[in-house]
Each structure stands twice: as C-alpha cells, then as structure tokens.
Structure 1
Amino acid sequence: MANFAKPGAPRFSADIYQNEFLPEGAREVNAIVTVTSSGGGTAEGGTSGGPPLPTTEPSDLPPPRAGDARSDTAVVIMVDCSGSMDYPPTKMRNAREATAAAIDTVRDGVSFAVVAGTHKATEIYPGNGGTAVADVHTRAEAREALRRLEAGGGTAIGTWLRLADRLLSSAGAAVRHGILLTDGRNEHEEPEQLSAALEACAGRFTCDARGVGTDWEVKEVTRIASALLGSADIVADPDGLSADFTRMMENAMGKEVADVVLRLWTPRGAEIKFVKQVAPTVEDLTGRRTEAGPRAGDYPTGSWGAESRDYHVCVEVPAAEVGQEMLAGRASLVLSDPDGGIRETLAQGLIRAVWTDDMIATTSINAQVAHYTGQAELAQAIQQGLELRKAGDEGGATAKLGRAVQLASASGNADTAKLLSKVVDVVDAATGTVRLKAKVADADEMTLETRSTKTVRVKK
C-alpha cells in the first residue's frame, strides 16, 4: 500500500486483501481493494476556502454578496412536480418541506439550484440560468421560491437531468452533485431519451435518486443512480422525505474530492475479468472501463468524502509452473484533471500471484474475497427471486429467495435478512428453507428490491 496525499488534502489509502497462492496452471487471481479516504480541510458548516471559482457564464450569475467565499461544490435538487404528486396532496407538501430541509443543510459558499420536474424541466431557484451561492440570504430566498412547486404535468426525467447538468456546469465547481425525487414512471419521454441523457451526464456529476410512495419503477430509479454513481432508495412514507433529504445533503456536503478513478494496470498476457464495487453497495464497473495507456484502464468511482469502499478485482494471468511468481496487477487511485491532462496518484496497491504445490496455501480462500463473493451472490439472488415471483414461478422464486436468506444469515447482513422476512416466511435460515408469503405489501417488495445491493463489511 502507498499513500501520496498532499499536505492539507484528504488522505487516500489502498489496502489489498487476497490469497496470492495458486496451484500449478491456475490463471484466476482475486483481490479485494479497500480504499479509504480520511482527513481533508472542509469543516462542518464552513466553506472549503479559496478564491471564488470562475464560471462559464458570469453574466448569468447573481452578483456576489459581501463576504462570499465560493466553495468547490455545487448541488442541484430535482423535485418531481408531475400531477401524481398531488395524490394525496400531502405528498407535494412533504416534497416542499424536504427540499427546504435540504436547502437549510447546504453549506455556506456552495453553489445550488432547485429544479421542478414534469414533462419539462423548470428552474425554480435562482431562475437565472445559473446557480446561487449559499448564505443566509439565498437560502431564505430559495425557501420562499419553493411556493412555486405545484403538481401538474407529466414525467420526463431526462430533461431534468440535462438541466441539472447545465446548471452544475455553470457553477464551475469540481464536486458536482444532484438529488432527484420522483413518485412515478418516466412516461413522457422515450426510453432512448433517458438513456441518452444518462450517457451525456455520466462522469459530469453524481446523483442520488429517491422514489417516494409505491407507484414508481425500481429499475428506473436504480438505473439513474447507478449510471451517475449515486445512491438509490425508497421513501415509502412521504412523511420521511425531510429526514432522507437532509441525510443526502449532509452526505453531499461531505464530498471533497471529485473525479477519482480506480486505475488497474496488468502485465503483458494478463487481463481484467471484472471489477465490482462490493461495499457499501454492489456495483459492476467492468463495462465502464476507459483505456489509460498501455495495459491500463480506468474505472470511475465518483466523488469522495471521509469514507471507505471495497472493490473486487479479478485478473486472468498466464498459467505458470510451481515456484514462479508475478505481479498480477497494480491498483491505483487516480485524481483526473478536469482538462484531461495531468493525473495525480492518490494511493496504490499491488496484486500478486505465486504458484505453489502447497495444497493448504492454494485451497485457502481469503476471508474478504469469500465474503464479498457471497454478498454479490446475495444481491443477484434477491433480484432474480423477485423477478421469478412476479412472473408466477413460485418454485424458482422460493429457491432463489431461500438462497438469499441463507447468504444474509451467514454473512451477518441483518438489514437484508429483515427485509427478506417481509417477503418470505423463514423456516430455517441456515439451510435457506423458506415459504413465499401469500400477500406482500408493495412497499416491502420495492424496499427489498431497491436495497438488494447494500452490503455489510467483513467482520474483523
């Protein structure tokens, strides 16, 4: 492990957990890369300091107030204002209150804006094609502007995302984040339009997505969050929106480093089979590789605050004889330059392969690798089980959800086990013996599906 942090900057470390010993002829090397970011200079409730950043269109921005110190963070809140938000009317009121709570959590100096989303996107605040700089005055103005959030119209989420992208770009901030709330399906634009919007926005900002109530599509919301490297969740009871929005905004305010990638180098003859984030959630990054020079590729990880994440890397190496060893890969955390130029290495770790005839060494599975392999299987079993249940395949659903119960129990994933117990009656968790419940509340099924990728860390 190596750490290359500059003084005053958040410190990154990369730790490699693996069993490097392989039997003769074996080719697959598995490793867990634990990345931890700690420290940094942003204080809670303060600004990140430094001079105000330039914007792409200065004339579109409100004049700075005395004492303004613009931070390197910008956030846009996208609120569903389609007609369904008026059923019941308390839903729209809860959304206004939640947005107000989130605005109150925006740190001084952060650039922010609010967008009303229907079949089109409308900037509610500040309303000048740019963002406002948070202080006591702009937060009060924004709360007053929330009165203009009224339900009516359709749902075209791609337009919301594109407007958020324009607003975030105008702020000139390095850390760019969106918060999106919807209560229904994306029915007023073609699927291809949402896909194009997600492709256009990927890598430009991160976004947390929330579904309120039970009339929205889980795969739609999780797809948005996945593409934009954010979190997805359900708020089944609209009364819980304010608390959830506050937590999301607090998390966004804690991000200090943007555009961090996991760079994997492999020697000649070796190749990456897959790369998955496995904690705090399962996210397959394999298909998001961008080439980064000879035998190296970059995998996006988004923005970082003080946190730790785990990645499962699988490398296929050339077969070798007993006694040989090789560097199977090098994992580096790299900060990408906004202009695509110089990149800064934040931390680094090495993945090794050693061929031996020691049966005990080669058959021992590393605890971290085994744990996260099970967590990834757990997420897949839940998703497949729920799909089979919807399709009417009770036998297949029982088998998959039973396996999920078994994996959740064995790994100590108590939260997922509790969610599973609302969909199946558990006869024996250790063996995965379950019975499907005859009736399951929509909220319980959607919560299990939405949170199926949440994992627990390895027990130390």
Structure 2
Amino acid sequence: MANFSKSNVPRFSVDVYQNEYLPEGGREVHSIVTVTSTGGGTTGGLPAPAAAVVVMVDCSGSMDYPPTKMRNAREATAAAIDTLRDGVAFAVVAGTHKAAEVFPGGGRLAVADAATRARAKEALRSLEAAGGTAIGTWLRLADQLLAPADAAIRHGILLTDGRNEHESPEDLRAALAACAGRFTCDARGVGTDWEVQEVTGIASALLGTADIVADPAGLAADFTGMMETAMGKGVADVALRLWTPQGAEVRFVKQVAPTVEDLTGRRTEAGPRAGDYPTGSWGDESRDYHVCVRVPAAGVGQEMLAARVALVLPGRAGGAPTTLAQGLVRAVWTEDMAASTSINPQVAHYTGQAELAQAIQQGLHARKTGDWDSATAKLGRAVQLASASGNADTAKLLSKVVDVVDAAAGTVRLKAKVAEADEMTLETRSTKTVRVKK
C-alpha cells in the first residue's frame, strides 16, 4: 500500500488483494484494487473545493400525470437548492423537447447565498409540464453553463419521467460523448414510464449514480441526498493509471464496488505502456476495482511486476500530473498446486457480484421476451449469488419478481404478476454490490 497527501486534496490510499501465484505457463493475473479517499469535501477540515451544479428538471407533458408529480419535482429541486453551500455556482434547467434556463438565465450560473437560493426557489414556480423529451439538449445546455465555471467539481442532477422520444438515440449518444469527462451527472427516473437503460446509460457515461424514485413523494429526500453527496466531493477528474511491463496486456478494468462499471473501453493512453481509466470525483469514500492483466509465460521460480496501479490527478494548464497513491500487482510462478489454484477471496467475491448483475439483467430481458425457462434459470442463479454473497438488498428486490423455493440452490418460480415499479427497481439497482467481508 502507498499513499500521498496534498494540502488541498483528500488523502488517497491503494490496497491490492490478489493471489500472486501462477502455475507454470499461467498468464492471467487477477487483483482487487481498493482505493480509499479520506479527509476531503466538507468533512476533512480542508477548504471546500469550488463547485458548480446544474439541476435539469423534466417538464414534459407527462409530468402532469398525476399533477402531484410536477409539484414534487419543484419541491425536490427547492430542497436540492437549500442543500447548496454558500459560494457554489448553480443553475436550473427545464427540460422538454428543448432545454430552457429557469434560473438565473442569461447563459450564466448564480452563486449560492441566501438571496440567490430564495430567488431560485421563486423561479421554480414557473415550471409547468408541456412538450416532449430530448435529454441530449438538456445535457448540452448544462455543459455550456458549467464550461466557463472555474470549479474543480462540476456536477449535474437530471430528473426524467419518460422515454427520450423527441431525439434519436444517436443524438443522445453524441451529447453524452460530448459531455463525458466535462462534468459528472446523477440521473433519476421518477414513476415507471421511463427507460431503465436510458437513465442508467446517462449515469454510466457521466460517472454518476442512477436510481428509480417510483413514488414522486420520495423525490425531495432523494434530491437532498444527491446534493449532499455532491457537496462532499473533494477532488474531481481522478484517473486510475495502469502501467504494465513489456509483453503484458490489460484484459479488463472494472469498478466492482459500490456498483459494477466496466471501464475497459474508456482507456486513454498515458505514455509508454500506461493508460488512464476515468473514476470521476471523490469525497470521503472507498471503491473497489477488478484488474485483470495477461502477462508473458514464465518458468517456475520466476517473478515479475504485472502492473503498477496509481491514482493520478491531471496537472493544471498542462502541468505534470500528481500521483495520489499507488500499489503493485505481482506475478510469481510456482509448482505448488495449492498456492497457484487458490482463488483470492476478494477476487472470488467480486467475480460473483459482476455475474449477479449480469444474471439479473439477462433474466429480466428473458422475462420480457417471454422466454420463461431462461428467465427462471438466470434469476434463480441471481438469487443463489445474492444469497451466497450476503447481498440482502438485491435478494429482497429479487423476491418481488420470483418466489424463492431454495435460495442456496437457486431454485425459484417466476411470479405471474409483478409490479412494474418492482421490476424496474431490480433492473436499475442490479449493478449495486456489497463489499467483501474483510
């Protein structure tokens, strides 16, 4: 383990968990990299970093059904505004088939204080439900508003209640590609008429969180929690940098806790044999990453450094990057079968959690398409994995979709009738994991 501290950023540490022993001819090295950040945000006694936030509120016509939905959205946005600390730059955007500035207007951000918070909440009264849904336009306006802000933390909160019907999927993908790396964004679907993959896709692309708020009455508490988390961030744009030796290749890099997120395809080159994987912004928190490296074959008794894992903060104005923490992944070849066949508990646990997420998604897809046998098998496997790993929250969500006959064996029966909110909640939260018991 290594760590590094700088006066104006949280302290980071890296712990590597692996079985470093390979049999003769073995080439695949797995490790779980635990990254922990402490002393950041508003809790560590450091000055809070400059932050800018844009709240995007769905104001499409469907937000009027029922009429309480729009009122709940206004109240939730007001609660989020109340949670802003003084000095944070912010704006509110109304989203329909186009994006409109609600507050402060004029293509700029306001600076939070008692007066601007009061004026912003007054401006929310003008929010009315009418029009369609083109989420890409909302994101592009948020990007335009956040771009000039001299803020380390740039964050969006997006609420939608419907499908993205007034622009093409390509338009949304292009908007996400344009915004990726420029700000993070939490996305929420309210009610049950929205598309899970759209909302989770937005959060994934912009390194934020996704969730369902099935009952609009729960929006205020959810928005407050999201804004509190955003206000607790201490540093942004942190990259997980992987260096591998000559002849080695990175098979995959996945975040596996608190949620499963495959980062493999997001690599950007960072010098000879090194690549950066984005992790977004950090407060006081800990996350786990599963790193798999394929190394050149070697003989018994040989050992090598399979990878160096570092947390890196990019330099300001083209300056040199700062290494916040680093850890080492090793490979040692042995003829001791007991040593080389042992699976590290952390690696085993998170391999199961990643399979759990996949089994849920495949099972629900099979259920929607009427493939009952496949749905039963996949959701049964999900129940088995959730039970074995102690993922009680996911097990509880699964029990609303299947009748569990034997959790340990994965024996289930599909329920004939499932509430849409229960099915969508399970799908939206399928990537949430539990941490391995140390």
TM-score of the two chains, using structure 1 as the length reference: 0.94
Q: Distance in 2 between matches of 1:122 and 1:159?
A: 9
Q: 2:418 aligns with which of 440, 443, 460?
A: 440
Q: Deviations over 1:224-278 (max 9, x none)?
A: 0000000000000000000000000000000110100000000000000000000
Moved more, 200-209 or 161-170: 161-170
The offset of 1:359, in angstroms, is 1.1
- Asked whether 1:33 is paired with 2:33, we answer yes
Q: Once the two structures are aligned, what percentage of the paired residues are identical?
A: 82
Whether contact under 8 Å (1:8, 1:41) holds in the other structure is no
Tell me the SS of whatever aligns to 1:455. Answer: coil
CA RMSD of aligned residues (A): 1.2
Q: Distance in 2 between matches of 1:107 and 1:95?
A: 21
Residue in structure 2 matched with residue 65 of structure 1 by the alignment: none
Q: 2:172 aligns with which of 179, 187, 194?
A: 194
Residue in structure 2 matched with residue 214 of structure 1 by the alignment: 192
- Asked whether 1:183 is paired with 2:161, we answer yes
Whether contact under 8 Å (1:111, 1:131) holds in the other structure is yes
Residues 43 and 430 (structure 1), Cα distance of their counterparts in 2 relative to 1, 3 Å cut: closer
Number of matched pairs: 438
Tell me the SS of whatever aligns to 2:82. Answer: helix
Whether contact under 8 Å (1:47, 1:109) holds in the other structure is no
Q: Distance in 2 between matches of 1:43 and 1:170?
A: 27
Whether contact under 8 Å (1:47, 1:107) holds in the other structure is no
Q: Distance in 2 between matches of 1:10 and 1:341?
A: 20
Residue in structure 2 matched with residue 22 of structure 1 by the alignment: 22
The offset of 1:342, in angstroms, is 1.6
The offset of 1:25, in angstroms, is 0.3
Whether contact under 8 Å (1:209, 1:233) holds in the other structure is yes
Residues 214 and 338 (structure 1), Cα distance of their counterparts in 2 relative to 1, 3 Å cut: farther
Q: Distance in 2 between matches of 1:330 and 1:118?
A: 46
- Asked whether 1:101 is paired with 2:83, we answer no
Residue in structure 1 matched with residue 136 of structure 2 by the alignment: 158
Residue in structure 1 matched with residue 375 of structure 2 by the alignment: 397
Q: Distance in 2 between matches of 1:275 and 1:339?
A: 28
Residue in structure 2 matched with residue 359 of structure 1 by the alignment: 337
The offset of 1:148, in angstroms, is 1.1
Whether contact under 8 Å (1:131, 1:170) holds in the other structure is no
Q: Distance in 2 between matches of 1:436 and 1:122?
A: 45
Q: Distance in 2 between matches of 1:447 and 1:299?
A: 29
Q: Distance in 1 between matches of 2:280 and 2:132?
A: 31
Q: Distance in 2 between matches of 1:331 and 1:47?
A: 26
- Asked whether 1:42 is paired with 2:20, we answer no
TM-score of the two chains, using structure 2 as the length reference: 0.98
Q: Distance in 2 between matches of 1:368 and 1:131?
A: 44
Q: Deviations over 1:201-231 (max 9, x none)?
A: 0000000000000000000000000000000
Q: 1:113 aligns with which of 67, 76, 91?
A: 91
Residues 41 and 146 (structure 1), Cα distance of their counterparts in 2 relative to 1, 3 Å cut: closer
Q: Deviations over 1:413-449 (max 9, x none)?
A: 0000000000000000000000000000000000000
Q: What are the within-5 Å matches in structure 2 for residues 165-180 of structure 1?
A: 165-180=143-158
Whether contact under 8 Å (2:41, 2:232) holds in the other structure is no
- Asked whether 1:288 is paired with 2:266, we answer yes
Residue in structure 2 matched with residue 130 of structure 1 by the alignment: 108
Q: 1:456 aligns with which of 429, 434, 437?
A: 434
Q: What are the within-5 Å matches in structure 2 for residues 254-273 of structure 1?
A: 254-273=232-251
In structure 1, stretches of 5+ residues that fail to align are 50-70
The offset of 1:8, in angstroms, is 5.0
Q: Distance in 2 between matches of 1:105 and 1:76?
A: 13
Q: Distance in 2 between matches of 1:402 and 1:77?
A: 39
Q: Deviations over 1:18-38 (max 9, x none)?
A: 000000000000000000000
Whether contact under 8 Å (1:114, 1:124) holds in the other structure is yes
- Asked whether 1:309 is paired with 2:277, we answer no
The offset of 1:170, in angstroms, is 2.3
Whether contact under 8 Å (2:40, 2:46) holds in the other structure is no
Q: Distance in 2 between matches of 1:162 and 1:37?
A: 31
Tell me the SS of whatever aligns to 2:54. Answer: strand
Whether contact under 8 Å (1:276, 1:284) holds in the other structure is yes
Whether contact under 8 Å (2:39, 2:46) holds in the other structure is no
Whether contact under 8 Å (1:120, 1:155) holds in the other structure is yes
Q: Distance in 2 between matches of 1:410 and 1:35?
A: 25
Give the aligned residue type for 1:384: Q
Whether contact under 8 Å (2:41, 2:283) holds in the other structure is no
